Amino acid sequence: MSSDDIADLLAMHQVTAEAYQGIAGTGDVLYDDPVTVPCLLSRRSQFIRNADGDQVLAQSTVSADPSYADQLAPQSRITIPGETPTYVIIRQISTGGGDIDGLDRVKAWLQ
């Protein structure tokens, strides 16, 4: 499998991501403008640990090119086409290392 094949795999689906920006003084949650993220979407449920170490159920995962890491940060709002918005529980940025080209990706687990 070439690095082009992996890039094509990571662009099989699309989600809309609104990066979490924090909480305003009024208490409103702030998000960045929506961005379309080409990705590989998996709808497999699994238990994971959130940033606080609590075990939670992730309903799906999104794997994308690492250039989308900022849009897939924890607490970012993600919209899967045809579904209600969900939120990133936690993300992992992986590299293939110096010996393997094309395996770099960001993976986000969604509520």
pTM of the model as a whole: 0.83
User: Which residues on adjacent β-strands are paired with residue 39?
Assistant: 13
Q: In the prediction, which pLDDT does 95 show?
A: 74
What's residue 34's pLDDT?
97
Phi-psi region of 59 (alpha: psi -120 to 50; beta: other; left: phi over 0): alpha
The domain segmentation of the chain, as residue ranges, is 3-110
Per the CB < 8 A criterion, the answer to whether 76 and 18 are in contact is yes
Strand-pairing partners, residue 23, are 29
Question: What CATH number was assigned to the domain covering residues 3-110?
Answer: 2.40.10
Per-residue pLDDT of the chain (111 residues; tens, 9 = 90+): 455 666 666 667 899 999 999 999 999 999 999 999 999 999 999 999 998 999 999 999 999 989 999 999 999 999 999 899 999 999 998 876 656 665 678 999 999
